[in-house]
Amino acid sequence: MLGLVAAALILVTFLVRLVKFATTDGDFTLTSRGPPKREQVEGKVVWITGASRGIGEILANQFTNLGAKVILSARNTAELERVKSEIISKYPTSSVEVLPLDLASGEESLREAVQKAESLFSSAGVDFMIHNAAFERPKRKALDESEEGTRATMDINVLGTITITRLLAPYMLKRGRGHFVVMSSAAGKCPAPGQALYSASKHALNGYFHTLRSELCHKGIKVTVVCPGPIETSKTSETNSSREGRSLEKRVPSERCAELTIVAATHGLKEAWISYQPVLFVMYMVQYMPTIGYWFMDRIGAKRLDAAASKKSTYSWSLMFGSKKSE
């Protein structure tokens, strides 16, 4: 009898965990943490690239709400000013500065941007560098990508981001503290059929920043690599796929993505995954059972290219278990 009760308890626990995994929006470690720790960011200087729209704009709002002083960067100055004035109207006592920059503009121009960022707020210096800006080309086959497209992706997503880091880190090292938060992607952990360049650029960031942390963590430098799957932003609601495709795609709202990003950073996580299923499931498989994970991805590859071409969902379970294959 006792054995039966124990077996029933184990089964119930297993089922509860299964349901939780099926409905969660982040990896186990991330979702087991509490809310963002305000004390970690209050009064700190947070520099956010890609802050003119999307996840970056929401991050700027949420960091401000937690009492941080924020620096907003991107190329479009008018949009940055809009974000700034919207933040100030919501949080009248907030400290917000606009610092336009182009990540593809080369080392000298990025050096000036770093010096400027360091000099803002009475030369307080940057505490958190949120590397959020990125360039993503429309989905296409890896072999259809041009040299020009390759350079554009790598210049912004990889070279510009690394250059800012290399120029900013010495200031942080002098102060004995600093935190790089890097918006990577599920495409930085798994193959992403139709997004070969984007995936390559995000894998590069993961490699660089995890290595950087291993070299500098004992000198007060922290690194958090965030890997979101599909996120609902104004861009995706307007353009990414047909209405039919969007209704099949379950995307994590950008507000929740920003919140979990700040949870990951303020709880000192080294890496965090933010996604609904099935992307989260695939990430776990590729990370912990790569032979099976890559087998899944090989089943998906051609079908995902077809789905992208016909503007259907590129994130649904049917790609894994459906039968239609591309020629």
Ligand X SMILES: NC(=O)c1ccc[n+]([C@@H]2O[C@H](COP(=O)([O-])OP(=O)(O)OC[C@H]3O[C@@H](n4cnc5c(N)ncnc54)[C@H](OP(=O)(O)O)[C@@H]3O)[C@@H](O)[C@H]2O)c1
Residues with a catalytic annotation lie at: 198
Contacts of 94 by beta carbon, 8 Å cutoff, 6+ apart: 64, 69, 70, 87, 88
Binding mask 165-204 for ligand X (x = CB under 6 A): ------------------x-x-------------------
Alpha helices in 131-242 (DSSP H): 147-153, 161-175, 196-216, 234-235
Smaller CB separation from ligand X, 276 or 296? 276
Tell me: does residue 245 bind ligand X (CB under 6 A): no
Residue with the closest Cβ to ligand X?
A: 54
Q: How far apart are CA 63 and CA 45, in angstroms?
A: 10
Q: Tell me the helices (H) and strands (E) count for the chain, helix number first.
A: 15, 9
Q: How far apart are CA 314 and CA 312, in angstroms?
A: 6
Smaller CB separation from ligand X, 237 or 326? 237
Q: How far apart are CA 62 and CA 264, in angstroms?
A: 14
The correct pick among 26, 56, 125, 301 for binding ligand X (CB under 6 A) is 56
Burial of 157 per CB tally in 10 Å (0-12, 13-18, 19+)? buried
- Part of the chain binding ligand X (CB under 6 A), chosen from 12-20, 47-55, 122-130, 303-311: 47-55
Tell me: does residue 228 bind ligand X (CB under 6 A): yes
Smaller CB separation from ligand X, 37 or 82? 82
Q: How far apart are CA 274 and CA 29, in angstroms?
A: 11
Tell me: does residue 326 bind ligand X (CB under 6 A): no
Tell me: does residue 76 bind ligand X (CB under 6 A): yes
Smaller CB separation from ligand X, 66 or 98? 98
Smallest gap from Cβ 105 to ligand X, in A, equals 8
Per CB under 6 A, residues contacting ligand X are: 49-50, 52-56, 74-76, 79, 101-104, 132-136, 156, 183, 185, 228, 230-231, 233, 235
